[in-house]
């Protein structure tokens, strides 16, 4: 199949590689042409604009930083994807996006006779989880293409359902991260050894995959993670906006949203998302640190793109 892929950064590049490995003809576009070098070495074609990537494609994928970038790339009347796609083709957005933006773009696609799926992801290709919203027949048609990139593929429901599912999973993970940090802050203020507590939590009621990041990423003082603070702050904020839109409570998320934005205001946007712990440390006047235990468990960093 002739496919286009716009946005070939950290996630888009390996996804486009999967499509090439599966034998598809892939035309790529990005703000940085150098991002395409490895893909072009594998046979991908370069397009100077999103429109040019779409003109030769039966379907175009995007993997972009957020809603504003998606709207610009898709709807620009001169060089956007929709200006290049032919009727009966498809646009598939794999960005963690706003449901409201997804619906606006889907309406524009329908007006041009173009099908649309929202298909945000969790994990890393080729074993990602892909959450898809859109017409069931369109989903069935492109499911084999999605299967080149993901292992667990779910049709969640109508347009924007995939985006909603992804935002909820992000909310769960990163609000939980803040709650875990609050618990550690309580312990630190009460004089508990955080190293011992970090051994207790994984075998007690507080156990969670989210907490498993903390010994290496926070207690070490490294504040490293697979994704940046900017990515997590964007996703949590979108999830809180969704909660307001549908009239659902999101008290824990609103606190997390505030803390992530405070960390961004410190200029830490490109640091790993666990740097948010510094905000709680400043508020409480403690440091959340513990010496590493050489024989302790190894923890896997949690990447916001992976969920």
Domain locations in the chain as residue ranges:
2-159, 165-284
Given this chain, do its domains 2-159 and 165-284 carry the same CATH topology? no
Q: What is the pLDDT of residues 215-257, one digit of tens each?
A: 999 999 999 977 899 999 999 999 999 999 999 999 999 999 9
Phi and psi at 49, nearest 5°, equal: -140, 160
Residue 230 pLDDT: 97
25-29 vs 2-6, strand pairing mode = parallel
In whole angstroms, give the CA distance from residue 83 to residue 197.
56
Could you give the CA distance from residue 177 to residue 192 in angstroms, rounded to a whole number? 20
- The whole-number pLDDT of residue 298 equals 38
Give residues with Cβ within 8 angstroms of 26, minimum separation 6: 3, 4, 5, 16, 19, 20, 39, 43, 44, 45
Q: Which residues of 173-202 are buried (b: 16+ CB within 10 A; e: fewer)?
A: bbbbbbbbbbebbebbeeeeebeebbbebe
CB 115 within 8 A of CB 134: yes
Tell me whether residue 265 is exposed, middle or buried, using C-beta atoms within 10 angstroms of its C-beta: 0 to 12, 13 to 18, 19 or more.
exposed
B/e letters for 140-166, b = 16+ CB within 10 Å, e = fewer, are eebeebbebbbeebbbbeebbbbbbbb
Structure confidence at residue 225 (pLDDT): 78
pTM, two decimals, is: 0.93
Q: What is the pLDDT of residue 244?
A: 97
DSSP annotation string for 95-114: S---HHHHHHHHHHHHHTT-
As given in the structure block, the two tokens for residue 285 are 């006047």
Asked if the 2-159 domain carries CATH number 1.10.620.20, the reply is no
Catalytic residues: 166
pLDDT per position as a tens digit, 56-104: 999 999 999 999 999 999 999 999 999 999 999 999 999 999 999 999 9
- CATH 1.10.3210.10 assigned to domain 165-284? The reply is no
Give the whole-number percent of the chain exceeding pLDDT 70.
Answer: 95
């Amino acid at each position: 199949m002739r496919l286009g892929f716009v946005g070939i950064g950290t996630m888009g590049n390996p996804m486009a590689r999967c499509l090439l490995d599966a034998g598809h003809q892939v035309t790529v576009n990005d703000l940085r042409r150098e991002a395409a070098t490895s893909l072009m070495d594998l046979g991908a074609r370069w397009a100077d604009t999103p429109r040019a990537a779409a003109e030769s494609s039966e379907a175009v994928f995007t993997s972009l930083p957020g809603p504003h970038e998606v709207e610009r790339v898709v709807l620009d009347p001169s060089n956007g994807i929709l200006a290049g796609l032919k009727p009966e083709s498809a646009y598939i957005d794999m960005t963690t996006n706003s449901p409201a933006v997804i619906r606006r773009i889907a309406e524009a696609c329908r007006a041009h006779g173009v099908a649309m799926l929202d298909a945000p992801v969790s994990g890393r290709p080729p074993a990602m989880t892909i959450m898809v919203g859109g017409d069931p027949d369109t989903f069935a048609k492109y499911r084999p293409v999605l299967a080149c990139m993901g292992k667990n593929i779910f049709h969640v429901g109508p347009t924007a359902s995939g985006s909603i599912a992804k935002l909820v999973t992000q909310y769960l993970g990163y609000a939980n991260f803040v709650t875990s940090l609050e618990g550690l802050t309580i312990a630190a203020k009460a004089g508990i050894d955080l190293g011992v507590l970090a051994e207790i939590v994984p075998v007690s009621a507080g156990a969670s995959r989210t907490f498993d990041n903390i010994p290496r990423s926070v207690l070490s003082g490294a504040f490293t993670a697979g994704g940046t603070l900017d990515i997590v702050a964007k996703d949590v904020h979108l999830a809180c906006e969704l909660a307001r839109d549908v009239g659902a409570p999101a008290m824990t998320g609103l606190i997390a949203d505030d803390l992530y934005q405070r960390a961004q205001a410190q200029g830490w946007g490109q640091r790993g998302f666990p740097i948010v712990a510094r905000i709680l440390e400043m508020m409480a006047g403690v440091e959340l640190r513990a010496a590493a235990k050489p024989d302790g468990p190894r923890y896997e960093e949690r990447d916001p793109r992976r969920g």
